[in-house]
Structure 1
Amino acid sequence: MTDMHETGSRIAPEIKAAPEMTAAFDEFMEAFEAFKDTNDRRLGEIEEKLTADVVTRDKMDRISRAMDEQKKVLDQLALKKARPPLGRGGGNGIEANEHKAAFEQYIRRGDEAGLRELEAKAMSAGTGSDGGYLVPPETDTEIGRRLSVVSPIRSLATVRQVSGSVLKKPFATSGMAAGWVAETAARPQTSSAQLAELSFPTMELYAMPAATQALLDDAAVDIEGWISSEVDTVFAEQEGTAFVNGDGTNKPKGFLAYTAVADSAWSWGNLGYIATGAAGAFKTTGASDTLIDTIYSLKAGHRQNANFVMNRKTQAEVRKLKDGDGRYLWQPPATAGEAASLVGFPVVEAEDMPDIAANALSIAFGDFRAGYLVVDRTGVRVLRDPYSAKPYVLFYTTKRVGGGVQNFEAIKLIKFAVS
């Protein structure tokens, strides 16, 4: 298992811990030690009396919930630290400053003249008649950066920027054939590589926050920062849900929306799953076998870049699992800002993953950078509307994003079913 532990430590993101993160991390580790002691007591009671004491079970549940809350605090602190100040880095040229000033005039007073002049110079299609103006580079970059932190699937997947409405991607499902021949033997023609064309359309995602004119007239208010903070969270939540469960109709297609088949019957266009052997649960004995089988169902090239993806409730159950030598399979982060690991691989929490239930696909494991593609159409647009909801000014903010599986052998699922 050495290679897996090396992989987990290599992939985990590195974020320098602030003092408050260090304190929160220390509390989290203390809770984990208490959790292990209580769970060991619970397992001993089950072995001795065939059932765990109610007090022990309740205590373990309380500790588990406390760990979840402390991990949430850690995640929020890491997120706060990962968010850069608005307008820092990139876009510092004269043109960017002009665009920023003109955009602020548009947001505050509806004055389009500056934006029309600048975007005409750039031969931009982003005119008022086309439905809004492009957000300045600083704001656009800020929204994209926050999404990559808030939305876990986006942070794992490959992200492509496109200028059109659809990205078409060829994929070789099989390579060309070759063979050994004698020196003077005939060389018959070999078969060619088989290509499949994958299509990833971009869908429109929108938000429409409102502000009073008095707020817009207040020069002390950071309007661009306000738009970012209003929009980025709701965009991230919608994206995160779609990347997992989206049906592909007016939204990206999530990886759980594809047909799942037993891994032994896997074929291109489907995702393979490993069954736990019990409906709505891990097997009572050898539960770790399911995880090991899932890990090694991936080819080595994908396995070294793989992550486990599950929600908090599923992770709470996984924390209780041990290997044959009594060691916990789930391990806490080595330092503040890193990811927890399961059998040596990073664990990513995605609350849109289903809870453990009969026939549920509650755990995914794979190389999501190779397996899932997010397609962003360049630019976030804002249309100012001072008329529809007086006395408020509406800001109709849109972006176009798509997504789907691009490599069906790079992601595997765990199904909580007998077979």
Structure 2
Amino acid sequence: MDTIQILREKISNFARQANQLVADKGDQVWTPEEQAKFDGFANEINGAKAAIKNIETMRELEADKFFNAAPPKKDADTPIESLVAVALYMRYGTNVNADQAAAIHNAMSTTTPVEGGYTVPAEVASMVIDRLKAFGGMRDVATILTTATGHAMNFPTSDGTSEIGEIVAENIVATGGDITFGTVGLPVFKYSSKQIALPLELIQDSAIDVIAFVVNRLATRIARIQNLHYTVGTGTAQPTGIITASTVGKIGATGSVASVAYIDLVDLKHSVNRAYRSNAQFMMNDLTVASLSKLVDTVGRPIWIPAITEGAPDLLLGKPIAVNDDVAVMAANAKSIAFGDLSQYNIRDVSNTTTMRRFDDSAFALKGQVGFCGWTRSGGNLLDTAAVRLYQNSAT
């Protein structure tokens, strides 16, 4: 099996060849052979990306990927650091000596069970945030706000894209033109990982980095549900997603149930006021990216340009593509592509609300298991709805 590094090198190599082909052709009309060659590069790139995604998915499912050993509970004449205290709590719960119990209490602020167990120290909270960023795509493009509390917060809004001034003659009073303001709420919600059950032997195995193991499991679940809500959340008892908050800028012509035409993408791009386009990006499902990678303009040139540098985005019509698999795949009436200044979507995290609890009750103990659950408080909303427009596939 190809390693991820080899696959990344393949992507970079084929991307360079594809970019060189585009550069060499310039404004010339592409021949069928040249288009077939470019499509071949695109297929290789998309295939390698899919392979990387599959490998990473399998690694997520393998418990043996974790590495650093946490000190066993009986070693501790020296002061106990906060991360070690967290590991002790995860491994042994309350079955520790008095010094270790005090260290756990100092490292993890005690809250009531209703509020979610123990508030984790900053180092573990940072690990959770890093894990949240690794899934979905919305945290890569949105503006992240961290607030001290979860109190109600409203932001003023005003769309001035249609406002214009005037010419006035001497001694003539200027016409009134008051600005209309609105408000957009940015409430937060308490997210839970749901309880997870893990074998007692695995948690107590000193060869396992128990913090990374448990945080990975808890944060991954929270990350997936948050990204789903930040993308298509209804706004009722959950955040309002960027797709939900945005208006349609272009509807595909009849027959575009599972496709999009070059001219429709151009129309979508220009449906966004140019004041927002300097910082604009496309956002779509990875399957949509694969479909668009073979689109050409009116003279046969590809409009999708693969990234050469690892970590850099592919380009579509000269604008970056943000991949978000919670955006709908192309289908009848699907809102499958977003374009605009995606940073106008704001994600609000409440600081010091990442909590964790270990469960040792009979529901787990009789099966030789330990239960864990994690919580955090967050929300999101598109603060400027004029900044983003959507492409909607045709109904038939």
- For this structure pair, what is the TM-score category when the shorter chain's length is used for normalisation? 0.7 to 0.9
1:408, distance to aligned residue in structure 2 (A): 0.4
1:233, distance to aligned residue in structure 2 (A): 2.5
1:205 and 2:191 are equivalent in the alignment: yes
1:42, distance to aligned residue in structure 2 (A): 8.9
1:280–1:359 CA contact under 8 A, matched in 2: no
Name which of 63, 70, 84 aligns with 1:101.
84
The aligned residue for residue 341 of structure 1 is 315
Q: Which runs of structure 2 are paired with 1:180-259 in the superposition (5 Å)?
A: 190=176, 192-207=178-193, 208-258=195-245
1:275–1:418 CA contact under 8 A, matched in 2: no
Counterpart amino acid of residue 373 in structure 2: Y
The aligned residue for residue 410 of structure 1 is 387
The aligned residue for residue 372 of structure 2 is 395
Name which of 153, 174, 184 aligns with 1:168.
153
1:75–1:337 CA contact under 8 A, matched in 2: no
1:345, distance to aligned residue in structure 2 (A): 0.7
Cα distance in structure 1, aligned partners of 2:266 and 2:39: 26
1:288–1:322 CA contact under 8 A, matched in 2: yes
SS in structure 1 opposite 2:229?
helix
2:218–2:373 CA contact under 8 A, matched in 1: no
The aligned residue for residue 316 of structure 1 is 290
1:363 and 2:337 are equivalent in the alignment: yes
1:413, distance to aligned residue in structure 2 (A): 0.6
Distance 1:317 1:137, change over 3 A: same
SS in structure 2 opposite 1:320?
coil
Distance 1:43 1:250, change over 3 A: farther
1:114 and 2:103 are equivalent in the alignment: yes
Cα distance in structure 1, aligned partners of 2:164 and 2:296: 45
2:285–2:324 CA contact under 8 A, matched in 1: yes
SS in structure 2 opposite 1:296?
helix
1:328 and 2:305 are equivalent in the alignment: no
TM-score, normalised to structure 1's length? 0.71
1:237-269 Cα offsets, whole Å, 9 max, x none, are 2222222222233432222234xxxxxxxxxxx
1:21–1:78 CA contact under 8 A, matched in 2: no
The aligned residue for residue 48 of structure 2 is 70
The aligned residue for residue 71 of structure 2 is none
Distance 1:311 1:337, change over 3 A: same
1:359, distance to aligned residue in structure 2 (A): 2.1
Cα distance in structure 2, aligned partners of 1:245 and 1:68: 25
Counterpart amino acid of residue 389 in structure 1: F
The aligned residue for residue 9 of structure 2 is 23
SS in structure 1 opposite 2:329?
coil
1:381, distance to aligned residue in structure 2 (A): 0.6
Q: Which moved more, 1:217-226 or 1:301-310?
A: 217-226
Cα distance in structure 2, aligned partners of 1:193 and 1:246: 30
1:308-346 Cα offsets, whole Å, 9 max, x none, are 111132222212221122211111113232211111111
CA root-mean-square deviation: 3.9
SS in structure 2 opposite 1:290?
helix
The aligned residue for residue 347 of structure 2 is 374
Q: Which runs of structure 2 are paired with 1:300-315 in the superposition (5 Å)?
A: 300-315=274-289
Unpaired stretches in structure 1, ≥5 consecutive residues:
1-17, 45-55, 87-95, 259-269
1:99, distance to aligned residue in structure 2 (A): 2.9
1:200-219 Cα offsets, whole Å, 9 max, x none, are 22222222233333333333
Cα distance in structure 1, aligned partners of 2:106 and 2:124: 20
Distance 1:172 1:22, change over 3 A: closer
1:260-314 Cα offsets, whole Å, 9 max, x none, are xxxxxxxxxx513212223435899xx3222222212222231111111111322
Q: Which runs of structure 2 are paired with 1:35-184 in the superposition (5 Å)?
A: 41=32, 66-73=44-51, 98-111=81-94, 113-117=102-106, 126=111, 130-174=115-159
1:24, distance to aligned residue in structure 2 (A): 2.8
1:220, distance to aligned residue in structure 2 (A): 3.2
Cα distance in structure 1, aligned partners of 2:123 and 2:306: 36
1:404, distance to aligned residue in structure 2 (A): 1.8
Distance 1:303 1:366, change over 3 A: same
Name which of 355, 360, 375 aligns with 1:386.
360
Q: Which moved more, 1:71-80 or 1:18-27?
A: 71-80
Counterpart amino acid of residue 323 in structure 2: E
1:163-197 Cα offsets, whole Å, 9 max, x none, are 33345232231569977666755678x45432222
Distance 1:418 1:358, change over 3 A: closer
TM-score, normalised to structure 2's length? 0.75
Unpaired stretches in structure 2, ≥5 consecutive residues:
23-29, 60-66, 69-78, 95-100
1:65, distance to aligned residue in structure 2 (A): 5.9
Cα distance in structure 2, aligned partners of 1:76 and 1:146: 18
Query: Identity, % of aligned pairs?
Result: 24
Distance 1:330 1:389, change over 3 A: same
Q: Which runs of structure 2 are paired with 1:234-313 in the superposition (5 Å)?
A: 234-258=221-245, 271-281=247-257, 287-313=261-287
1:387-410 Cα offsets, whole Å, 9 max, x none, are 131121111111122112211011
1:153–1:240 CA contact under 8 A, matched in 2: yes
Cα distance in structure 2, aligned partners of 1:125 and 1:193: 48
Matched length: 354
SS in structure 2 opposite 1:335?
coil
1:21–1:336 CA contact under 8 A, matched in 2: no
The aligned residue for residue 75 of structure 2 is none
1:75-98 Cα offsets, whole Å, 9 max, x none, are 689999xxxx99xxxxxxxxx974
